[in-house]
């Protein structure tokens, strides 16, 4: 059985990852428009890079939680594809093998000249760090207002789903929220969130729990 899992900020939050969830427009005290847009980067690249340098440091201090490990263990029984809105590497560290990052990855950077020139990066990123062609490197993060290049691949994965599990996401951020429209008719959907949004779908089971509890309640 092909199980597709769409994960969001709620999964990482239980590991202690500070996340942005729309409420006050601030992320770690920063206006998201200053640190998570191309305009913000062009205006003050030092601020943006330092913001993500701090996120990278924070990532080294957290570990996967029970939800990450339970989703990885599903691979013992099923073909599992994880589509995540999270930019951390906690799914990887928990042992999941098929992970598609919709919004980029904190531990990668890319050239401002070529979005396909992507490279691993674990330390600090600074102004003056250049690609081999001499262009500034930037965080490999999809910022607000930017295209989400992995969406076509995510759609292709969803089109082959037997079961869709949605965990820790408000389903309010597009285009990720639109993925529900691409699963086959009669696909079973499980939605795990302590404060679930209203989703109109016939084969829907809502588990009103945080990820670390709700994922363990899945009977697949």
91 is catalytic: no
DSSP, res 145: T
CB of 43 within 8 A of CB of 27?
Answer: no
* Cβ contacts of 54 within 8 Å, gap of 6 or more: 28
Give me the phi and psi of 2, to 5 degrees please: -95, 110
Spatial separation of the C-alpha atoms in residues 48 and 35, rounded to whole Å: 5
The one catalytic residue among 91, 101, 103, 140? 103
Tokens of 81: 């594809």
Spatial separation of the C-alpha atoms in residues 130 and 11, rounded to whole Å: 33
Spatial separation of the C-alpha atoms in residues 152 and 179, rounded to whole Å: 10
Tokens of 128: 């003056």
Give me the phi and psi of 172, to 5 degrees please: -110, -10
Question: In the chain, where do the E strands start and end?
Answer: 2-7, 26-27, 30-31, 79-84, 99-101, 104-111, 118-120, 137-141, 163-167, 188-192, 204-207
Catalytic residues: 103
């Amino acid at each position: 059985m092909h199980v597709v899992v769409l994960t969001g900020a709620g999964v990482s939050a239980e590991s202690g990852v500070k996340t942005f969830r729309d409420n006050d427009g601030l992320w770690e005290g920063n206006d998201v428009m200053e640190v998570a847009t191309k305009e913000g980067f062009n205006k003050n690249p030092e601020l943006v890079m330092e913001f993500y340098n701090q996120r990278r440091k924070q990532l080294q201090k957290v570990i996967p939680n029970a939800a990450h490990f339970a989703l990885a263990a599903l691979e013992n029984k099923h073909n599992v594809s994880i589509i995540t809105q999270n930019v951390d590497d906690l799914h990887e560290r928990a042992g999941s093998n098929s992970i598609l990052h919709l919004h980029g990855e904190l531990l990668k950077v890319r050239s401002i000249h070529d979005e396909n020139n992507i490279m691993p990066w674990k330390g600090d990123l600074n102004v003056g760090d250049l690609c081999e062609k001499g262009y500034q490197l930037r965080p490999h993060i999809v910022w607000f207002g930017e295209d989400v290049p992995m969406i076509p691949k995510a759609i292709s994965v969803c089109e082959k789903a037997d079961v869709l599990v949605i965990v820790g996401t408000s389903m309010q951020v597009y285009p990720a929220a639109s993925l529900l429209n691409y699963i086959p008719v009669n696909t079973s959907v499980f939605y795990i969130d302590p404060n679930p949004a209203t989703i109109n779908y016939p084969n829907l089971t809502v588990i009103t729990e945080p990820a670390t509890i709700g994922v363990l309640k899945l009977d697949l």
